[in-house]
Chains A and B, each alone.
Chain A
Amino acid sequence: MSETKYTADHEWIRVEGDTATIGITDYAQAALGDVVFVDLPGVGRSFAAGEAIGEIESTKSVGELLAPAAGEVLEVNDEVAGDPTLVNSAAEGAGWLVKVRFSEEPELLDEAAYRELTA
């Protein structure tokens, strides 16, 4: 299992081989409140760095899933689309959102840097 990295936009990313799994952090789900709808991209979609590739809606607000680098969507979590509360209950596990292949190296934070950001 690879090390989990983070973005300043409150996503977590785990890279295994050429596949990166992305979700929102536990900090982000707590800030959003109860997640009631998740909009995920189509498999095969290409995206640019910084592009919104998904939306996470709670009762009170909307969060965007921002791509930290250009790439292509390989897989989306259909389970979380059917049961958005997984984002609250298992944000950094079963509540993952998409698997992608990056075509460039994303700039990511390690856990210590992310914890400092959200302290």
Chain B
Amino acid sequence: MTAQGSIDRTAPVTPLLAVHEAAGAQLIDFAGWQMPVRYGSDLAEHQAVRERAGLFDLSHMAELRVSGPDAGAMLDHALAGRLSALELWQAKYSLLLAEHGGIVDDLIVYRTGDAEFLVVANASNRHAALDALTERAAGFDATVVDEPEQTALIAVQGPAAAAIVGAIGLESEPLDGLRYYRSLPAVFEGEDVLVARTGYTGEDGFELYIAAHAAEDLWRAIELAGEGHGLARCGLAARDTLRLEAGMPLYGHELSLDVLPAQVGLGRVVALKTKGDFVGRAAVEAGPAADAPVLVGLTAEGRRAPRAGYPVLDSDRVVGSVTSGALSPTLGHPIAMALVEPGSATSDSLSVDVRGTQLPASVTALPFYTREARA
């Protein structure tokens, strides 16, 4: 099932493609990028992140650089959060909203200078995010440049991540003091690298941004440092089950243009009180329609996974559908997120239609998994 034979060499490629091919990765097309879906067993990769550490190539993510004297003010106007208040090297999860309040993309913003920000958008929304930010920069002294092809993103996630990243020879302030959602500038073999304590797995970990031409050396240094820690190369399949267990939304599944932040539990991301007007404000203030679906977490017994698109029923009536689901590798039972009618959001008579079989499901608070609860 490897896709090596069908790679479109004109499409954007990760600078680590040759490394992945040599490691025997199964590649899939993800928003036009050929990315590893797994190297061997995605369950083993998932477990490595929960118990030791995993290494991910996320170079398909869309890095947009926003700079200029008005960069902070422009982002306050363009995004749902108050990004101008970020301290240097601080990171923040934010949303890019349409005028009608729907979600164009979810992204992470890092302040990398007094007048410079790094905005990381989803690969599938690269052009939508770039177009929206460029359009919304009109009237501001700020420029938006997209450079995912020039920037590699490598993540190290799991309990051993700090020990591994601490041993690759970075020239930087000590990593010990780096808190969650903070980053720091570092140098690796003469190349600038942004080291961020962020991730999408529910574990402690780091995301490292480096120039594409230096990605392979950094990847190999991490692999070497990880040898004594049981570090595993991980593909996008493990990344998806890890983020689902951690209750983190994925664009195109839980998030879309049809969904307002409050419907998916992201009302807190919108800074209504601390800043003035921004794109989508009026719609967010008006709120979703009273009958608009809301996101719930579901658990079930057995081994059959509810999967995206499967209908959710309350008694015998369809009240919504699954947005993401899996047999949780860590918990050993089925888990899912679903958008359901608000009247069924606390129902104790829900089930998921798994290809014709009704699977009883219980509403549960998100996330399904926290590393604190495991301990």
- Residues of A bordering B, CB below 8 Å: 27, 30-31, 33-34, 36-37, 39, 55, 57, 59-60, 62, 88
Contact = CB atoms under 8 A, between A and B. Distances in A.
Contacts of B240: 60
B327 A60 contact: no
Given A30-B26, A33-B237, A34-B42, A57 B305 contact: yes
B38 A57 contact: no
B327 A57 contact: yes
A62 B237 contact: no
Given A31-B1, A37-B304, A59 B326 contact: yes
Interface residues of B, number: 19
Contacts of B43: 34, 36, 59
A33 B38 contact: yes
Contacts of B305: 36-37, 57, 59
B241 interface: yes
Contacts of A39: 304
B1 A30 contact: yes
Contacts, number: 42
Interface string B1-45: 100000000000000000000000010000000000110011100
- Which 5 pairs between the two chains have the least Cβ-Cβ distance? A31-B1, A37-B303, A34-B43, A36-B327, A60-B237
Contacts of B46: 59
Main secondary structure of the interface of B (DSSP, over half): mixed
A37 B327 contact: yes
Nearest to A39: B304
18 contacts: A27-B1, A31-B1, A33-B37, A33-B41, A33-B42, A34-B41, A34-B42, A36-B303, A37-B303, A37-B304, A55-B355, A57-B303, A57-B327, A59-B43, A59-B237, A60-B37, A60-B42, A60-B237
A27 B1 CA distance: 7
Main secondary structure of the interface of A (DSSP, over half): mixed
B307 interface: yes
B7 to A, nearest CB: 16
Contacts of A30: 1, 26
A56 to B, nearest CB: 12
Contacts of A59: 42-43, 46, 237, 241, 305, 326-327, 329
Interface string B326-370: 110100000000000000000000000001000000000000000
Contacts of B355: 55, 62
Contacts of B307: 62
Nearest to A52: B355
A37 B304 CA distance: 7
A55 to B, nearest CB: 8
Nearest to B41: A34
B201 to A, nearest CB: 15
A88 B43 CA distance: 12
A57 B43 CA distance: 13
A33 B42 CA distance: 7
A36 B42 CA distance: 11
A55 B42 CA distance: 20
B294 to A, nearest CB: 27
A27 B329 CA distance: 23
A108 to B, nearest CB: 22
Contacts of A62: 307, 355
Contacts of A36: 43, 303, 305, 327
Most buried by B among A37, A57, A59: A59
Interface string B305-339: 10100000000000000000011010000000000
